[in-house]
Every structure is written in structure tokens, then in C-alpha cells.
Chains A and B, each alone.
Chain A
Amino acid sequence: MSAFVVLFASALFSFAIRGVLIQKAFAFSALVVAGSLVILGYTTPLSGFGSNTIISFFELIVFIVFGAVVLSEDETINITQSLFIASASLLLLESKTILTFVISFEALSIISFILVSNIKNATQAEGALKMFISGAIATGLIVLGLSLYTIEGHSLNEAISMKAGLFGTLGLWIILVGLFYKLTIVPMHGWAADSYAQVRPSHAAVLSGVAKTVVVIALFYTFSPFILENLSFNSPIFLVLSVVTMTIGNVLALFQKKIGRILSYSSIAHAGYMLLPFAVLESSFASTGLLYMAIAYIFMQTALFLLLDKLSNGNSDMTLEQFKGLATKQKLSALFFTVQLFSLAGIPLLGGFISKAILVYAVVDVNLTVVALIVLLNSALSVGYYAWIIKHIYFDGVSGENKITQVAIMPLLAQTILLLGTLYFGIFAYSVFSVTI
């Protein structure tokens, strides 16, 4: 019995379950069981996979967030896909060799495509298609990279070789570029800006909230030996990509009119933040910074997209205008939305603040003061558009074309879980430090 088996079996079995409520309960308990198995150390019983404290800790976080997703969903098919994605995430996080990493990554991508293919209108179809085409190109790149890597005689069935020559380096970098597609790093971000804003927000929650963080954590622990080996060469590339990504994400988010778009650009900007630890790997705070960033981000981004899904009734075209006066109608939802936005903006006592603080600390640690300054400026810039949403929620009267739907009790429960996560990791920072340091 192991966490992966439980998740995968329950995902298969959940096809057979009819009623949404029963399926929710089933999926939730499957996640709970899987979580307890991870705590007990029974993770994935396949060769090429393995776990450690940090990975197990992060897996638990992912399961908690999936628990919230499952509570919030109201379509059986989406709950089933969530379970599949959870099991694929487990595999990806635990993969030890390049082969298992790529296969798990592809599994995750393919289930994501299936998830977003549950379309209701033309906009969603466009978003899903864009994601699919970009994903296909990315897969092509990854396979190209793999073949270049094997030219030098490296085996795929072991961890990354430290002695990569020109072709090996080139191959690994092409794999990285392919993976950057999922991470939405500029210039691989084009699809995400559209897709996240066009697919159903609850799907965007899984894609941009969970899948992205899982990929970035797995990427970090799989590729960091390779990056560290030739850091003086690799670090500048990561640094440039990271700074460009966060700047473009933040600037483009500034004047958007749709909430989904603001969130998707903010997600791109956060991908930029999450790329920074790769560039400052020699700092002992890099892994803490990344893990903290991932944990804080997974809670806030998932919460925002899930809540947006409920408030807009699955409509991805919600504009700021339509969001006016949310606070007068639904105090609780407005509160959840605001706190998570504050966390994204980096207000103290919330998860987003400490994660950014550690990141800046790590950057300063390796004497990249200018980059730290750019991060802080970006962060300041981002407060602009987050505050703009909050202004619409609290300080504007209800507009005539208000289409906000009432949020039911289950999604609010899910939001409470995610809010507690944001608050917990904003106050009890020690729980993360104790895992990594």
C-alpha cells in the first residue's frame, strides 16, 4: 500500500461513482489516506522514484491544496482529473532519473490537457487549444533535448550526469526550455497569458496554482546538480530570464481589465520570482526560498482562481467592473479574496511576505544587490494592481451589470483551508525552515 497506489486506484475507481457529494467525500478521504501514507513513508513503490523530508513535506502541502480543490469542484469529471493530477504530481516530485522525470512530466501535462478539454464555450476552447499546441511544441523540444543528451552516451535511467559535454549541456538546456513552457517563463509565456485567462478559472487554479509549483520544485531537485556544476555560466541565463519574466508579468498585469488576466500575468510574474533561486544556487537560502515561495504561492494562487470560478460561475471573462461592490454582497468571499491578494502583494504576517523576504535575502546573500532591488521594485509595482482589485471589491458601489454569483458552503470551506495555509505559513515560518535547514 502506498500513496501513489491509493491515489491512482481511487482516481480510476472514482469514474464509477455517481453523485458529486459522494465523490467529493471519496476523493477527499483518498487524499487524506495518501497524505497519511506519505507521513508514514510509503510513497511510490517504483524504481526510479524516491522521497526525502522536503519532498514529503511539499507533497503534504499539495494534498492539502488538492483537498481544497476537490471540496470546491462541483463536476464529477473534474474531481476525477484532480485525483489523476495529484498522482502524477506525486510521481513528478519523487522522480530521481531523467527518464522518470520526463515521463511523469508528460503524464502531468496530458492530464492537464484532458482537464481543460472539458469546455463549455468558444473562449474556453481557444484557451485549451493554445495550451495543447504549445504543450506539443514543448514536448517536441524535450524529446529533442533528450536525444542530444543521449548522443554523449549518458544513460537516461539515472540521475543527471555531472559530466555533460557540449551536446549534453545543449540537450539539458533544451529540455529546460521545454519545461519552461509549463513554468511560463518568458519567452515561453505567450500561451499562459491567454490560456489561464480563457479556460475555466477552476482549471486555471490547478494549472497555474498546483501544476506549476509541482514542476518547479521537481525541476529544482532534479536539475540543481547540473546547474550548480557550471554555475558561472548557467546563473546569468537564469537571472536574465527571471528578471525579464517578473518584469513583463508585472507590467502587463497593470492595465488589464479582466480579473483572470491580471491573475494570469501575476502568475507569470511569480514564475519569474520562482526562477531566481536557480540563479543563486550557491546561497544556502536558495532551496528554502524556493520551497517557501512554492508553498505560499500554491495556497494563494489556487485560492484566488477557485474563488473567482465560484464568483463568476465558471465564466472566465469576469471584468473588474463586474467585480464592483463584492464586499457589500458577500462579506466572507470578499475577505478571502482580499487576504489572498494581500499575500500575493507581500503584506507581512501572510505567506507571500516571508517567501519574498527569504528570496530577497538569498539574492543579497550572493551579493546581487541590483537584482534584489529589481525584485523589490517589481514587488512594489505589483501592489498597484492587487490594490486596484481590492479597491473595486471594497470601495466601489455595486455596478448595474453585476453578475456575481453566491458562493456555496463547500467552496467557502475550501477557501478557509487555503486561508489557514496562507496565515499559518505567514506566522509560523519556522515550520518550513525546520524542514530545509
Chain B
Amino acid sequence: MNTQITALLLLPFIGAIVTFVVGKYKKSLAFWFAEIIGITLFVLSFSIFMSWHEPLNFDFQWFTFGATTLPFGIYIDHLSLVMLLIATGLGALDIHFSHDYMAEEKDQARYYSKILFFIGGMILLVSAKELTGLFVGWEFMGLASYLLISFWHQNSAPADAGVAAFLYTKFGDIFLFAAIGLLIYYTGTLDMVKLNQPEINGSISTNIIYVIAVFIFIAAIGKSGQFPLFPWLMRAMEGPTTVSALIHGATMVNSGIYIVARLFDFYVAANALIVVASIAALSAFIGATSALVQDEMKKVLAYSTMSHLSLAFMGLGASSLAVGMTHLVNHAIFKALLFLSVGAVIMSTHHTKDVWKLGGLSHKLTLVALFMGMGILSLSGVPPFSGYFSKDAVLASALLNPQTHGFLSTLTIIAGVLSIAYGGRLWTLIFGGRVRDREIYEKATTPSLFWISLPLGIMAVSTLVLGFYHEKVINFIANQEYIEPHADWLLLFMMSAISLLALLVYYFYRRRYSLREKVSAQPFMKTIRQVLLNGYYIEVMITWFAKNIMVYSVAKSINWSEKHIIDGLVNGMVSLSHKIFILFEKTQSPKVSNQSGTMLLGVVLIVMIIFIGSVL
């Protein structure tokens, strides 16, 4: 195999071990190792990207046994390359940013080694040829996500959040595993390129292929935080902000979209894109509306992530693969930027996460305010930022596709334009207006130029520049000249809606501050606010269902039968086996004469058998 690709696949895991060992020896070395490895990984991906002109294909086998072969191939095409660049590029910036953000942390070695392990999992996932390799990467990332969310496991909230994330995503993973089993049984191949070909996916009945596609999509829902498996994503914000930026904003949550994009023609053959579109529209709406009222900065971004991932899903669901993936790329960059900006704010205000305690910070954090503002504009879809082009294309394809036109496209468009409302609100409350908490404001420090502002700047410039190269990006992702869907009036509508909402936000949160309090004091508005704040009470419902239906009804009855029927049997088995043991123990005698006698008895028996056998 190509040395570059071998290095790319192995380096993060080797690096994770080395970083851990070295970091235990000397704390400060962990960062430098991680930084060097992070940058090397990006350089490697970039050089593969530069020299790439056709899909790289390497076949390996995990093992063969009888007729069953478990393949473990590597396949790098344009989709993988885009994901590789995002994962390693943002990974390197994130590690760079962590130098200051995690500076007070004692356990540096553990942190950086987990981050590298995560990047390794992501690289494995996107360069896998078969679902086996993808599944291994998928689980590696799930593990890394769990470990990093609960990084501060000494406190109960992060530890619980980690467990929640693990359980929610694992629920989806079961379906992915089942889908792999079904695929082996029905098609005999796990090769994702082959699965897209009509001769494979056309050879089995449409019902089965539909079930498989939906199963895989359930796993994607879990990983990408879509309705109804999103509550873990909100709780994951308990982890360090750098982790949220990398894992829960920019890379891991994209893997659900990636798997659907990778199997796109399979989904087309299964007629399952409408399922993707429906869930996406609903999640986009839930995410965007819930983001409007959150008090905690990171939760605003978490709901916004959910909503924007849904837009990318919507692009796929409206049968425009390239559009969805382009939005994913753009979103990854500006969401990492936003998360890290919020991280910078949290850091300089000494771990203040409540947005109502901040305000007027633009005087102190001018650069961060500027970069975050660029991120917000890109998020909201304001030209010429990259977010505008892909969002416009997603909304247009949702409108023009006859399957999604109507209710689904309406939900999507509402979610799309609402970005300015929650984004603007977040920015205004942090940086604009009057200072709400004097003490926090006074204590706020200015972040370092090199460690904090530089990565933010790189991302802010990227999100701006990518807008100008939009056509190149989408052509690369589509791997051909791509004519994107377009609706003429959409630009006009979006611009006017965005301006209107921007004005509203300005008026509401800056100008007539008292009005906001009056409105939110109304009982009806209060109820709406509560519903939105709690993410439509989805988590409460899931917990209720799990507790009352699964635990109290099903599990309790199983428990009863286990206690009274199975245990009885098992206890019986113990006494039975003890009796057998005592019986058998009589065969074992410590006397050598008896042992030798038994041996000779065995000889006599076998001789007799042979005589009888030969006579018969």
C-alpha cells in the first residue's frame, strides 16, 4: 500500500500511545507531540489530495474462514478525501487551540492521546472500503467521543453525559450491525462501492433493501444527532469545548451523513431517501427553533449543529448528493469556528457559559468577536460566505424535488432562515449591548494572538474564501461538472427574511431590552419557551418510555420470571453439578497404584475394543 496512506492510518494510533507515554513523563511534551502529529496528518492528507486523480483502492482481508471472508479494504475517493481534509485540518487547528484552552488541565497526556485516537478513528472510517472497516472506525469514534465527553469524569454531569452519549449512539449502532449481517446474508458483499451498483442492489427484493437502508439510517440518526436520538448531543456539551468543536460540531457527527452519502445509490435503489428527507426536515425544524431560546452558549451551537446537519441530510434526501456534502463541508468549518470562538469566550471569562451573564465583550475580545461574527454570517447564509451557497442549494433542491416539495421543504426553509435569529441573538448577547455582569467583564482576559486568534482566523478566512470557490468545491465533490438546483426567488426571499430577522433580533435583544422580558413573561410565550428550551421534551419522553415501559413493565416481568423460574433452574443446576462433581471425584484417587491401575484398565478396554472391532 501507498506509504502515505499507511502512515495516515497508523500514525494517529501510534501517536496516541506515544503521546500518552511521553505526556506521563513530562506534561508539556504531550501537546507538542500531538501538535506535530496533527499537522503531519493534515500534510499527509493534503499531499494525497494534491496527487489524487482516481479512486485509490487497496484490498485487504481481516480473515478468511471457509466460505466467509471478512474484508478490510481501503478506498479513497473524492468523498473520503473531503472528509479526510476536514478531519485532519480541523483536528490540527483544534489541537493548536487546545494549547491555551486546556493549559490548566493536569492530565494533558490523557486528553491529547484521546484526541489523536479519535482522529485515527475518523480517518479509518472515511477511508474504509467495506462496512467492516467503517464499523470499526465508527465504534472507535464512539468510544473516543464517550471518553472525551466524560473527560472531567470526576464531576457527575460530564460522566453522566458520556454515558448518555454512549447509550444513545449505541442504540443506533445495533441497527448498523444488524444491517451488516443482513447485507452479508443477502448480498454477500460489504463493499460500499459494489453496493451502489444496480447489479448488487437490484438483485434482492426492494423490501429487504429498504429495511437495510433504514437500519443504516437509524445508526446515522444516532451518530449525527437527528430526531429522535439527539438529546445526547446537547448533553455532550459538558465536555471540553475543544472536544465539542471537533467531535460534536465538525467531524464525528458528520459520519452519519457520510455513510448515507457513501451508499447514496443504494438509498436511491431502496427508495429510502424520503425517510432521510422527512427525518431531516423535522430535525432541522426542532433544532433551529430550540436553538432560539437556549441560555447556555454551547447549547445554542449544539441545536444549531443538529439543525444544520439536518440541512445536509436534506440535501441528500432531496437526491442532491453533492449539495448535501458541500453543506457538510461548509458547516464543519464554520461550526468549528463558532465552537472555538465560544471556547475563547468561555476561557477569557473564566468558565462562564450562561449567555445572560455576558454582554459588551466586543471591546475586550475584538478579534474573537470579528471572527465569530463571520462564522455567524456564514451560518445564517449571508453571501458571499460559503454557508450561503450551500444552504441556498439545499433549500432549492428541497423545493424542486417533487418528493420533498411542500411540507418538508417548508420546514426546511423555516429552519434555514432561523439561523440568523439564533446566531444573531448569540452574538449580540455575548458581544453587543451593555455589560450585564460587571464583575465577569472586569475579570475577562484577552486571549493569546497565536494560540487562540490564529486558528479562529484561519477558519474564518476559510469560510469566506470557500464561498468564492463554491463551484470548484461542489464539482470536486460531485466528481463532475455539477449544475446545482436553483430557484430565482429564493435569494430574494432569504435575504429579506434574514434582514427582517436580523432587525428583529437587534430590536429585541439590543434596543428594547425590556420588551423581551415582558413578552417572555406572558403565560403562553412562557410555555412555548419551556418546550423549546427542553428540546420539545424529547429526552423526557425517551426517558419516560425507557423507564416506564422498558424498565417497569418489560424488564420487571422478565426479572420476575428470571428470579422465580430461571434462578430456580440455575440453582438446581448448581446442586446437580455438585452431585456430578462428587460422583466424578470418586474417579480421581491420589494413590499412584490406583492411577496406574486405571491406565492399564484403559489399555485393556481399548485392546478389547480393537479385538471386537476386528472380529466384527
- Is A188 part of the contact surface with B, judged by Cβ < 8 Å? yes
In the complex, which of the residues B584, B595, B599, B611 contacts A251, with contact meaning CB atoms closer than 8 Å?
A: B584
Determine if A194 and B614 form an interchain contact, defined as CB atoms under 8 angstroms apart: no
Q: Which residues of B are found within 8 Å of A190, using beta-carbon distances? A: 588-589, 594-595, 598-599
Q: Which residues of B are found within 8 Å of A169, using beta-carbon distances? A: 610, 614
- Is A3 part of the contact surface with B, judged by Cβ < 8 Å? no
Determine if A141 and B588 form an interchain contact, defined as CB atoms under 8 angstroms apart: no
- Is B211 part of the contact surface with A, judged by Cβ < 8 Å? no
- Is B603 part of the contact surface with A, judged by Cβ < 8 Å? yes
Q: Closest chain A residue to B66 by CB distance?
A: A361
> Taking A358-B65, A430-B63 as contacts, is the C-beta distance between A251 and B610 under 8 angstroms?
no
- Is A254 part of the contact surface with B, judged by Cβ < 8 Å? yes
Within 8 A of A (CB), among B591-610: 592, 594-596, 598-603, 606-607, 609-610
Q: Closest chain B residue to A252 by CB distance?
A: B584
Determine if A137 and B590 form an interchain contact, defined as CB atoms under 8 angstroms apart: no
> Taking A137-B600, A166-B614 as contacts, is the C-beta distance between A428 and B63 under 8 angstroms?
yes
In the complex, which of the residues A174, A254, A255, A429 contacts B603, with contact meaning CB atoms closer than 8 Å?
A: A174
Q: How far is the CA of A169 from the CA of B65 in the complex (A)?
A: 35
Query: How many inter-chain contacts with C-beta < 8 Å in the A-B complex?
Result: 84
Chain B interface: which of A128-136, A317-325, A389-397? Answer: A128-136
Q: Closest chain A residue to B613 by CB distance?
A: A233
Determine if B602 and A187 form an interchain contact, defined as CB atoms under 8 angstroms apart: yes
Within 8 A of A (CB), among B267-284: none
Q: How far is the CA of A433 from the CA of B594 in the complex (A)?
A: 43
Determine if A133 and B596 form an interchain contact, defined as CB atoms under 8 angstroms apart: yes
> Taking A137-B599, A177-B606, A433-B64 as contacts, is the C-beta distance between A130 and B592 under 8 angstroms?
yes
- Is B522 part of the contact surface with A, judged by Cβ < 8 Å? no
Q: How far is the CA of A428 from the CA of B594 in the complex (A)?
A: 45
- Expressed in whole angstroms, the minimum distance between the Cβ of B592 and any Cβ of chain A is 5
> Taking A237-B609, A361-B65, A361-B66 as contacts, is the C-beta distance between A255 and B581 under 8 angstroms?
yes
Q: How far is the CA of A249 from the CA of B595 in the complex (A)?
A: 16
Q: Closest chain A residue to B614 by CB distance?
A: A166
Q: Closest chain A residue to B600 by CB distance?
A: A137
- Expressed in whole angstroms, the minimum distance between the Cβ of A74 and any Cβ of chain B is 28
Within 8 A of B (CB), among A148-185: 166, 169-170, 173-174, 177, 180-181
Beta-carbon contacts of A214-236 to B below 8 Å, as 1s and 0s? 00000000000000000001000
Beta-carbon contacts of B575-595 to A below 8 Å, as 1s and 0s? 001101100110111101011
Q: Which residues of B are found within 8 Å of A141, using beta-carbon distances? A: 603
- Is A248 part of the contact surface with B, judged by Cβ < 8 Å? yes
- Is A305 part of the contact surface with B, judged by Cβ < 8 Å? no
Q: Closest chain B residue to A249 by CB distance?
A: B584
- Is A193 part of the contact surface with B, judged by Cβ < 8 Å? yes
Q: Which residues of A are found within 8 Å of B587, using beta-carbon distances? A: 248
- Is A353 part of the contact surface with B, judged by Cβ < 8 Å? no
- Is A191 part of the contact surface with B, judged by Cβ < 8 Å? yes
Q: How far is the CA of A133 from the CA of B599 in the complex (A)?
A: 11
- Expressed in whole angstroms, the minimum distance between the Cβ of B355 and any Cβ of chain A is 45
- Is B61 part of the contact surface with A, judged by Cβ < 8 Å? yes
In the complex, which of the residues A137, A173, A254, A381 contacts B610, with contact meaning CB atoms closer than 8 Å?
A: A173
Q: Which residues of B contact A (CB under 8 A)?
A: 61-66, 577-578, 580-581, 584-585, 587-590, 592, 594-596, 598-603, 606-607, 609-611, 613-614
Q: How far is the CA of A186 from the CA of B599 in the complex (A)?
A: 8
Interface size for A (C-beta < 8 A) is 37
Determine if A430 and B62 form an interchain contact, defined as CB atoms under 8 angstroms apart: yes
Q: Which residues of A are found within 8 Å of B601, using beta-carbon distances? A: 187
Question: Can you add 13 more A-B contacts, CB < 8 Å, to A252-B585, A433-B63?
Answer: A130-B592, A134-B599, A137-B600, A169-B614, A174-B603, A181-B599, A187-B599, A187-B601, A190-B588, A254-B578, A255-B578, A358-B65, A361-B66
Q: Which residues of A are found within 8 Å of B613, using beta-carbon distances? A: 233
Q: Closest chain B residue to A195 by CB distance?
A: B595
Q: Which residues of A are found within 8 Å of B599, using beta-carbon distances? A: 134, 137-138, 181, 187-188, 190
Q: Which residues of A are found within 8 Å of B602, using beta-carbon distances? A: 177, 180, 186-188
Q: Which residues of B are found within 8 Å of A430, using beta-carbon distances? A: 61-64
Q: How far is the CA of A285 from the CA of B613 in the complex (A)?
A: 28
In the complex, which of the residues A137, A254, A361, A433 contacts B596, with contact meaning CB atoms closer than 8 Å?
A: A137
Beta-carbon contacts of A189-212 to B below 8 Å, as 1s and 0s? 011011000000000000000000
Q: Which residues of A are found within 8 Å of B588, using beta-carbon distances? A: 190, 193, 252
Beta-carbon contacts of A328-368 to B below 8 Å, as 1s and 0s? 00000000000000000000000000000010010000000
* Pairs A–B under 8 Å by Cβ, sample size 14: A134-B599, A138-B599, A166-B610, A170-B607, A181-B599, A188-B599, A190-B594, A190-B599, A193-B588, A248-B587, A285-B66, A381-B577, A429-B63, A429-B65
Determine if B603 and A133 form an interchain contact, defined as CB atoms under 8 angstroms apart: no
Q: Which residues of A are found within 8 Å of B614, using beta-carbon distances? A: 166, 169
In the complex, which of the residues A173, A188, A433 contacts B607, with contact meaning CB atoms closer than 8 Å?
A: A173
Q: Which residues of A are found within 8 Å of B580, using beta-carbon distances? A: 251
Q: Which residues of B are found within 8 Å of A252, using beta-carbon distances? A: 581, 584-585, 588
Determine if B577 and A254 form an interchain contact, defined as CB atoms under 8 angstroms apart: yes
Q: Which residues of A are found within 8 Å of B611, using beta-carbon distances? A: 170
Q: How far is the CA of A252 from the CA of B584 in the complex (A)?
A: 7
Determine if A237 and B606 form an interchain contact, defined as CB atoms under 8 angstroms apart: yes
Q: Closest chain B residue to A432 by CB distance?
A: B63
Q: How far is the CA of A193 from the CA of B602 in the complex (A)?
A: 17
Q: Which residues of B are found within 8 Å of A177, using beta-carbon distances? A: 602-603, 606
Q: Which residues of A are found within 8 Å of B603, using beta-carbon distances? A: 141, 174, 177
Q: Which residues of B are found within 8 Å of A134, using beta-carbon distances? A: 592, 595-596, 599
- Expressed in whole angstroms, the minimum distance between the Cβ of B62 and any Cβ of chain A is 7
Q: Closest chain B residue to A185 by CB distance?
A: B602
Beta-carbon contacts of A250-270 to B below 8 Å, as 1s and 0s? 011011000000000000000
Q: Which residues of A are found within 8 Å of B606, using beta-carbon distances? A: 173-174, 177, 237
Q: How far is the CA of A251 from the CA of B588 in the complex (A)?
A: 12
Query: Which of B585, B596, B607 has most chain A Cβ within 10 Å?
Result: B596
- Expressed in whole angstroms, the minimum distance between the Cβ of A102 and any Cβ of chain B is 17
> Taking A187-B599, A358-B65, A430-B64 as contacts, is the C-beta distance between A251 and B581 under 8 angstroms?
yes
Query: Which of A138, A177, A190, A193 has most chain B Cβ within 10 Å?
Result: A190
Within 8 A of B (CB), among A89-142: 129-130, 133-134, 137-138, 141
Determine if B607 and A133 form an interchain contact, defined as CB atoms under 8 angstroms apart: no
Q: How far is the CA of A289 from the CA of B580 in the complex (A)?
A: 30
- Expressed in whole angstroms, the minimum distance between the Cβ of B143 and any Cβ of chain A is 14
Q: How far is the CA of A191 from the CA of B600 in the complex (A)?
A: 13
Q: Closest chain A residue to B599 by CB distance?
A: A188
Q: Which residues of A are found within 8 Å of B590, using beta-carbon distances? A: 194
Q: Which residues of B are found within 8 Å of A133, using beta-carbon distances? A: 592, 596
Q: Which residues of B are found within 8 Å of A433, using beta-carbon distances? A: 63-65
Determine if A248 and B584 form an interchain contact, defined as CB atoms under 8 angstroms apart: yes
Q: Which residues of B are found within 8 Å of A191, using beta-carbon distances? A: 592, 595
- Expressed in whole angstroms, the minimum distance between the Cβ of B13 and any Cβ of chain A is 14
Q: Closest chain A residue to B607 by CB distance?
A: A170
Q: How far is the CA of A173 from the CA of B610 in the complex (A)?
A: 9
> Taking A130-B592, A134-B599, A173-B607 as contacts, is the C-beta distance between A254 and B581 under 8 angstroms?
yes
- Expressed in whole angstroms, the minimum distance between the Cβ of B531 and any Cβ of chain A is 45
Complex A-B, nearest 8 residue pairs according to Cβ-Cβ distance, in ascending order? A190-B595, A187-B602, A429-B63, A430-B63, A187-B598, A255-B581, A251-B584, A188-B599
Q: Closest chain B residue to A255 by CB distance?
A: B581
- Expressed in whole angstroms, the minimum distance between the Cβ of B350 and any Cβ of chain A is 37
Q: Which residues of A are found within 8 Å of B592, using beta-carbon distances? A: 129-130, 133-134, 191
Q: Which residues of B are found within 8 Å of A255, using beta-carbon distances? A: 578, 581
Q: Closest chain B residue to A191 by CB distance?
A: B595
Determine if B63 and A130 form an interchain contact, defined as CB atoms under 8 angstroms apart: no
Q: How far is the CA of A178 from the CA of B149 in the complex (A)?
A: 61
Q: Which residues of A are found within 8 Å of B63, using beta-carbon distances? A: 428-430, 433
- Expressed in whole angstroms, the minimum distance between the Cβ of B69 and any Cβ of chain A is 10
Q: How far is the CA of A151 from the CA of B59 in the complex (A)?
A: 58
Determine if B577 and A251 form an interchain contact, defined as CB atoms under 8 angstroms apart: yes
Within 8 A of B (CB), among A380-405: 381
- Expressed in whole angstroms, the minimum distance between the Cβ of A406 and any Cβ of chain B is 22
